Amino acid sequence: MQQNLKVYNSLSSSKERFEPLSPPYVGMYVCGPTVYSDVHLGNLRSFLSFDIIYRYLTHIGYKVRYVRNITDVGHLENDADEGEDKIEKKAKLENLEPMEVVHKYTQGFHDVAKTFNLKEPSIEPSASGHMIEQIDLIKRILKAGMAYETNGSVYFDVMKYHEHTHYGILSGRVLDDLISGSRELEGQDEKRGPLDFALWKKAAPAHIMRWPSPWSDGFPGWHLECSTMSTKYLGKQFDIHGGGMDLKFPHHECEIAQCVVGYGASPAKYWMHANMLTVNGQKMSKSLGNSFLPQQLFNGNHELLDRAYSPMTLRFFMLQTHYRSTLNLSNEALTAASKGYKKLANGLRVIGQLTYPSDQQGVIDEQVNQQIKEFCDNCYHALNDDFNTAKAIAHLFNILKKVNSMHNGNFDIAQLTPETFERMKSTFRQFVQEVLGLTEEKLNNQDQLLEIVIASYREAKVEKNYEKVDSIRNQLKNQGIVLKDMKTGVDWAYEE
């Protein structure tokens, strides 16, 4: 199957056959969060897209080293290298040491990732943990004559680079357009050209996050870390570099320029970008008041939400749209996703109960056998087509219809060959659980279910049905729960 995988490469703006540099190994680098605030739903969609890519590549047999970084220094408030470091600013606001901010939001990100059933990457390196490597890359770029120092800061010389190498190769941006479109920004006088970007920034005296360097006590430019860490852990050339669509320019464009000059190679063979999330048709943004945190969705605490939606509902919702299409969040779509997810979850339960009849010889229904095999093949075809989860879900629902008709007794399992039956079971389970990462969400309503049981218990007592009274007591005892007949009524407790 894996020979047929095609991926959309932003470098060529087309779908290409996936041929890793050293199969069965695949190196994949994904830009992780800047840990200065809670991860929002748009970020989450991007991470989910690469979670699916990681899962599917692993499923079809590749050995993937998946590196997703933590940006804990150097990400300034705007892309023109001005404004404060995002983390340093938040540290001031929250009256914390910057690394406390980093730990708080890294932790928050990890919690959301776990709730959302994102797979752990193989390595999760941080910018602050790779100062020596970043300083080394700056030295290389300076030595190559493609950067210059001004007042203790170092900038990449984009115009000079463009004389030899195409700046804009990934994003398709045209240099002249970029220059004419660039605004004069205060404090930009350190730069020779308006598109030049910082490799090292001298720290202001009050700046806490600072490291010694040959140029000044300061901190690295934001684009630098990804070039350094992808090279350190995946080599100068690796297979996939991913991130959100908003990172294509300037972040990824700058990464390529840095790597070409410093390491002598364009880093990734396939550049992949996940599309954005909109809300009721509008771009998600804090200023429009339609920005969501995952937690707000899970507890329903947001003025645009009618109710809460579970993590798996959100996951299902996002997977219903291909990762390169925009995805629009609305109550209607989420409610539909909730139904859809529960259908699949019920399917998981039902399929677990189906067994092939060992004592029975049925008349094989060739047509249905063929159909089911096609549904299974189609799941792979969908993922092989640039990871199209939306189509895969449709095929899973086709399988599910058959499963339900078997469960209802409307179709006799013995009409399938044992091979078809097993393939149906394993494909459904593997795609739902392993590839799409959708798990059964238990309802966590122990106390409420217990109340229903206790109501039956009370009734049995009133009816003096002591057999039933004892039966309920014993069944609950097996679950570690004892019933207590109090003066005030029936109560329960954990068995001590």
Cα-trace Rg, the chain: 28
Tokens of 170: 């990934």
- Local structure of 379: helix, strand or coil: helix
Q: Does 485 bind its own copies (CB under 8 A)?
A: no
Q: Does 489 bind its own copies (CB under 8 A)?
A: no
Q: Which bin fits 276, alpha (ψ -120 to 50), beta or left (φ > 0)?
A: beta
Q: In this chain, which of 19, 77, 94, 120 binds its own copies, going by CB under 8 A?
A: 120
Classify strands 197-202 and 481-486 as parallel, antiparallel or unpaired.
unpaired
Tokens of 200: 């090292």
Q: In this chain, which of 339, 370, 419, 422 binds its own copies, going by CB under 8 A?
A: 339
Q: Does 476 bind its own copies (CB under 8 A)?
A: yes
- Quick one: 13 or 443, whose CB is closer to its own copies? 443
- Quick one: 21 or 131, whose CB is closer to its own copies? 131
**Sole window of 119-127, 159-167, 239-247, 423-431 interacting with its own copies (rule: CB under 8 A):** 119-127
Q: In this chain, which of 172, 212, 264, 300 binds its own copies, going by CB under 8 A?
A: 212
Tokens of 389: 């989860």
Q: Are 256 and 158 in contact (CB under 8 A)?
A: no
- Quick one: 97 or 177, whose CB is closer to its own copies? 97
Report, in Å, the least distance between residue 88 CB and its own copies. 15
DSSP H or E stretch at residue 164 = helix 158-164
Classify strands 63-68 and 25-30 as parallel, antiparallel or unpaired.
parallel
Residue 116's nearest CA partner among 32, 41, 65, 27 is 41
Q: Does 183 bind its own copies (CB under 8 A)?
A: no
- Local structure of 199: helix, strand or coil: strand
- Quick one: 277 or 436, whose CB is closer to its own copies? 436
Burial of 16 (0-12, 13-18, 19+ CB in 10 A): middle
Q: Does 407 bind its own copies (CB under 8 A)?
A: yes
One symbol per residue from 285 to 314: x for binding its own copies (CB under 8 A), - otherwise; what is it?
------------------------------
- Quick one: 276 or 308, whose CB is closer to its own copies? 308
Q: Does 443 bind its own copies (CB under 8 A)?
A: yes
Classify strands 147-150 and 25-30 as parallel, antiparallel or unpaired.
unpaired
Residue 488 to residue 475: CA distance in whole angstroms: 23
Q: Does 494 bind its own copies (CB under 8 A)?
A: yes
**Sole window of 1-9, 181-189, 268-276, 403-411 interacting with its own copies (rule: CB under 8 A):** 403-411
Name, in order, each residue with C-beta under 8 angstroms of 267's C-beta and a sequence gap of 6 or more: 29, 227, 230, 231, 236, 237, 238, 241, 255, 256, 259
Report, in Å, the least distance between residue 479 CB and its own copies. 5
List of residues contacting its own copies (CB under 8 A): 65, 96-97, 99-100, 102-103, 107, 110, 120-126, 128-132, 136, 211-212, 233, 339, 342-343, 345-346, 349-350, 407-409, 442-446, 448-453, 455-456, 459, 468, 472, 475-476, 478-481, 486-488, 493-496
